[in-house]
């Protein structure tokens, strides 16, 4: 047996194994559709096999990877059907969250939206990763308006599973950035009626582009 | 160390460990709010510690039990807030499922509802467990109308987490059975408009009774 002498990732705490592996998957550092071997991964993270295996069980329960009985864990490509289903659920959860925002003045109102875009010079542009992260953050913030842990958990899970697809959409859709800016602005203005409308259009659009992505 | 000579549960296949433990939790064979010890459980199921630990990780990822860092796994009591949140999400997922039923005649229509109640003589009554199981089955069937695996998974998860509460509601609400019969009938008649209305009333009612349950 060859002992690995390189350690690409610094030793992680046992309770951060889950986050570390998830990051590797979301960044596609683990190739798509391939088996995930526990031992090399444990070696790279500087932990024992057990926490790696347990993190993989957690990730497969969250449907971020697949656990094939008698075969092992595999990274997964998201099917066109799964994308459509996740977007449909995403829109439903966002609409639920916005419908629960209290605007009657009797109770605390909407959570203050953060500044999603920092001040930029007009020529400066974000990397695709940062742009997608802003969209993910926007959806997370909207989900928190629900005050419902399961809705928040659902949106986070969809963000994780759709992350790779969103990066592809960013490349495919010419004015993806403008759409994101508009969503953030409407949310910042607390214009919930217009925001609901814009979210619906956004989701219809990405589902349409997702069809192009798969059938071309 | 004392070797257990009794085996209350017959030896289970390793891949049924998850289902077996979940059943014990839903039937409250494991007391509420208490630590779940891995070794006696593995002994009772006739399997080793590892599959039990892995099933517990899966169950805690699904929020059916709690995984407290450095303390272990615990069965959990569902808080009043969690119940309200789960019911809100349940109604939203059921409404989404029914809104996706295709009635335009161009595509395959609604999945045929099963007979939820077998022929009974008027004096015969179901046990609370069977009645709650019928409600769970009804919700599962409605969720399948969505054709969306995540919606189906969500409804199943809520069924599991709310099961104990539904048994309490059955005791608390005098005409719980009649409400169930009505929901099943409307679904059987494919009367989606009325069913949506009845589902909304059902959920408002159980949330109201859940408040009584917690503040009395």
- The CATH number linked to B19 is 1.10.10.10
Both B53 and B119 in one domain: the answer is no
pLDDT at site B213: 73
Option in A63, A85, A92 nearest B92 (CB): A92
A53 and chain B: CB distance < 8 Å anywhere? yes
Domain hosting B196: range is 80-215
Option in A54, A86, A93 nearest B57 (CB): A54
Q: How far is B87 from chain A (nearest CA, A)?
A: 11
Both A24 and A100 in one domain: the answer is no
pLDDT at site B124: 72
pLDDT at site B111: 83
Three-class SS state of B35: strand
Both B126 and B70 in one domain: the answer is no
**8 Å CB contact between A61 and A100:** no
Both B100 and B52 in one domain: the answer is no
Task: With CB atoms and an 8 Å threshold, state whether A82 touches B149.
Answer: yes
Chain A positions touching B200 (Cβ under 8 A) are none
ipTM above 0.85, yes or no: yes
pLDDT band with cut points at 50, 70 and 90 for residue B104: low
Both B92 and B198 in one domain: the answer is yes
Both B95 and B156 in one domain: the answer is yes
Lowest mean pLDDT among A17-26, B10-19, B46-55, B183-192: B10-19
Kindly tell me the sign of the dihedral angle through the C-alpha atoms of A12, A13, A18, A23. Answer: negative
Higher pLDDT residue, A105 or B101?
B101
Which of B75, B93, B121 terminates a domain? The answer is B75
pLDDT at site A91: 98
pLDDT in tens, A175-212: 999 999 999 999 999 999 999 999 999 999 999 888 77
A3 lies in a domain? no
B29 lies in a domain? yes
Cα nearest neighbour of A60 on chain B: B58
B24 and chain A: CB distance < 8 Å anywhere? no
Both B38 and B57 in one domain: the answer is yes
Task: With CB atoms and an 8 Å threshold, state whether A85 touches B150.
Answer: yes
pLDDT at site B192: 94
Chain B positions touching A86 (Cβ under 8 A) are 150
A2 lies in a domain? no
pLDDT at site B36: 97
Find the mean pLDDT for residues B3-23.
67
Task: With CB atoms and an 8 Å threshold, state whether B148 touches A85.
Answer: yes
A5 lies in a domain? no
B161 lies in a domain? yes
pLDDT at site B126: 87
Chain B positions touching A154 (Cβ under 8 A) are 89, 154
Substitution target from B88, B147, B156, B207 for chain A, most A beta carbons within 10 A: B88
**In angstroms, rounded to a whole number, what is the distance separating the alpha carbons of residues A159 and A162?**
5
pLDDT band with cut points at 50, 70 and 90 for residue B70: confident
Q: How far is A149 from chain B (nearest CA, A)?
A: 8
pLDDT at site A28: 87
Find the mean pLDDT for residues B20-31.
92
Both B106 and B175 in one domain: the answer is yes
**In angstroms, rounded to a whole number, what is the distance separating the alpha carbons of residues A213 and A103?**
40
Which of A45, A75, A105 terminates a domain? The answer is A75
Structure tokens at A199: 């979210």
In the predicted model, residues of chain A with pLDDT beneath 50 are 1-10
A1 lies in a domain? no
Domain count, chain A: 2
pLDDT band with cut points at 50, 70 and 90 for residue B179: very high
Structure tokens at A108: 């605390």
Task: With CB atoms and an 8 Å threshold, state whether B54 touches A58.
Answer: no
B121 lies in a domain? yes
pLDDT at site B15: 63
Both A67 and A29 in one domain: the answer is yes
Both B61 and B84 in one domain: the answer is no
**8 Å CB contact between A20 and B17:** no
Both A89 and A121 in one domain: the answer is yes
Terminal-to-terminal C-alpha distance of chain A: 45
Which of B40, B60, B75 terminates a domain? The answer is B75
Both A162 and A121 in one domain: the answer is yes
**In angstroms, rounded to a whole number, what is the distance separating the alpha carbons of residues B150 and B14?**
25
A61 and chain B: CB distance < 8 Å anywhere? yes
Chain B positions touching A93 (Cβ under 8 A) are 92
pLDDT at site A174: 86
Question: How many CB atoms sit inside 10 A of residue B54's CB?
Answer: 19
A151 and chain B: CB distance < 8 Å anywhere? yes
B86 and chain A: CB distance < 8 Å anywhere? yes
């Amino acid at each position: 047996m060859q002992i690995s002498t390189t350690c690409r990732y610094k030793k992680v705490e046992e309770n951060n194994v889950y986050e570390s592996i998830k990051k590797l998957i979301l960044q596609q550092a683990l190739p798509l559709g391939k088996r995930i071997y526990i031992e090399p991964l444990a070696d790279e993270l500087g932990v024992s096999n057990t926490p790696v295996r347990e993190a993989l069980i957690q990730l497969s329960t969250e449907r971020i990877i697949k656990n094939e009985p008698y075969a092992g864990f595999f990274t997964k490509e998201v099917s066109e059907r799964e994308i459509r289903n996740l977007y449909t659920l995403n829109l439903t959860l966002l609409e639920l969250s916005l419908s629960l925002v209290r605007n009657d003045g009797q109770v605390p109102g909407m959570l203050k939206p953060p500044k999603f875009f920092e001040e930029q010079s007009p020529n400066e542009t974000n990397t695709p990763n940062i742009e997608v992260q802003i969209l993910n953050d926007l959806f997370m913030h909207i989900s928190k308006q629900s005050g419902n842990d399961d809705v928040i958990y659902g949106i986070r899970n969809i963000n994780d599973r759709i992350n790779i697809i969103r990066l592809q959409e960013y490349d495919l859709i010419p004015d993806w950035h403008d759409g994101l800016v508009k969503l953030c602005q409407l949310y910042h203005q607390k214009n919930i009626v217009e925001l609901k409308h814009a979210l619906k259009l956004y989701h219809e659009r990405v589902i349409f582009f997702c069809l192009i992505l798969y059938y071309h």
